[in-house]
Structure 1
């Protein structure tokens, strides 16, 4: 009977280290990135829009892209770009 539990426990441990732990780390890094947003940051939204952050509110961010200014939810920000070469590297 005890022989059955060892492989099951081993599978749970493997599952944790392969799936749950990396996802938790990604969520933590993403939360840190969103919390660090500030005016002037260049960002890319999940929809692919590249723009500059104009203002940051509790749950939304105002972005200026070319001649347009719009407001998106913070969770819609995919990444912050340091300079234009970052855009070319991702393609």
Structure 2
């Protein structure tokens, strides 16, 4: 019993870290993956670096976006869920 009370603060600290840091991050990653899978040709997107464009071609891991200056080939993972959603609301 004495050993349990000795480790109880560490156990509680791990539980708090899990619920406030690890679990929300896992949800965010899952949401990003679902967004990447739902992309289709014709969608207007914004990359994490701030490039705006429209999807013109898609491959398994890359997409080609059409911007005002031409076409760019980028990784699917570089498309931002939050920025794209905000840009499409306008």
1:9 is matched with 11
1:64 is matched with 66
Instruction: Say which of 73, 78, 88 aligns to 1:83.
Output: 88
Residues 17-36 of structure 1: matches in 2 within 5 Å?
17-36=19-38
The structure richer in helix per residue is 2
Alpha-carbon separation, structure 2, partners of 1:2 and 1:66:
63
SS at match of 1:83: helix
Q: 1:84 Cα deviation (Å)?
A: 5.7
Listed as ranges, the gaps of 5+ residues in structure 1 are 86-91
SS at match of 2:50: coil
1:67–1:2 CA distance, 2 compared to 1 (3 A): closer
Return the TM-score normalized by structure 1: 0.85
Listed as ranges, the gaps of 5+ residues in structure 2 are none
Q: 1:67 Cα deviation (Å)?
A: 4.0
Q: 1:37 Cα deviation (Å)?
A: 0.5
Alpha-carbon separation, structure 2, partners of 1:45 and 1:66:
14
